[in-house]
Amino acid sequence: MNEDMPQLIHDYLAFLKGKAPTTQDAYARILNQMNQWMTQLPGHAGSFRLTQLTRTAVGAYLGELKDQGYSGSHRKRVKAVISSFAQWAIDQHPGELSRNPVHGLKVQNEDKVVSRELDAEQRYILPLLVEREDSLRAAAIFALGYWAGCRVSDISWLQTAACALGPKVGRITVGHKGGKQREIDLLNEVRRPLYQYWHSAQRNPDSPYVFTSQRQERLTEAGIHHWFRQLKQLATHAEWPFIASVTFHDLRHDFAHRARQAGWQLEDIAYYLGHSTSQNIPNLQTTARYIQVNRQAIKAKLHLLTGE
């Protein structure tokens, strides 16, 4: 159990003991991520209280998840978990929360994966910003997103026991989302910064997780998204318009585009990105949506058309 979560959430999770372990874990992760976001809001002083669970705050949080690239189905799940937690709190702590803050909030009824391929300027500026930050941890996190297409959850929950890293070898086992583990080999562009961070003083060597923070043994998903927003703040006035709308999840989409351009088959990309069904069969439909063609891509190939 995460000790950074308030006692209120701990009590609610204890209330869920009758549910399946996977459900309990999903609720815990969702509420922990919400707690991390709430405590960073202005005026909250790093703590979470029921009075802060307002309709405005929950709406803003769901909007933040959308901006971070979370699907409509995931945001609906988050909304349902918060609603359940809020109703429990109303019953158990009358007077502190008078109404369920989720009532009336709408999540768009779509689960469409919007393909995002970075352009040449974005592919140049983003690595440049990582160099400006001059942090081994930042370089490793960015490399896992850009050069390995890892999810934020893959990175946040990556454990040292799941890594085989050396001067010439790079292999990790990831797949926290849905419990679908996959073992992938790493390009040198990933292995090198990950290996350097692993052996640096920037991480807590006592943590079982690769990416640590000053506050806890694991850098959370919210922490990674926060870092990426801070990274973009290093852009100059001229660079900002190119990268302002880019999210960390866009790196994963762009990896899929570049892999396809390099000649990978859909099955290859599906395995590497962890797109699979509950039967562990490659989910090619999801992968295909990741690499949708667009007008710009077709326009760039028009000159290749001949009449022969």
Domains and their CATH numbers in the chain: 7-92 (no CATH), 120-300 (1.10.443.10)
3-state secondary structure the chain: CCCCCCHHHHHHHHHCCCCCHHHHHHHHHHHHHHHHHHHCCCCCCCCCCHHHCCHHHHHHHHHHHHHCCCCHHHHHHHHHHHHHHHHHHHHHCCCCCCCCCCCCCCCCCCCCCCCCCCCHHHHHHHHHHHHHHCCHHHHHHHHHHHCCCCCHHHHHCCEHHHEEECCCCEEEEECCHHHCCEEEECCHHHHHHHHHHHCCCCCCCCCCECCCCCCCCCCCHHHHHHHHHHHHCCCCCCCHHHHCCCCHHHHHHHHHHHHHHCCCCHHHHHHHHCCECCCCCECHHHHHHHCCCCHHHHHHHHHHCCCC
- The predicted model scores a pTM of 0.66
pLDDT tens digits, residue range 198-215? 999 989 999 999 999 887
Q: Is the pLDDT of residue 308 over 60?
A: no
298: confidence class by pLDDT, cuts 50, 70, 90: low
pLDDT tens digits, residue range 213-251? 887 889 988 899 999 999 999 999 889 988 888 999 999
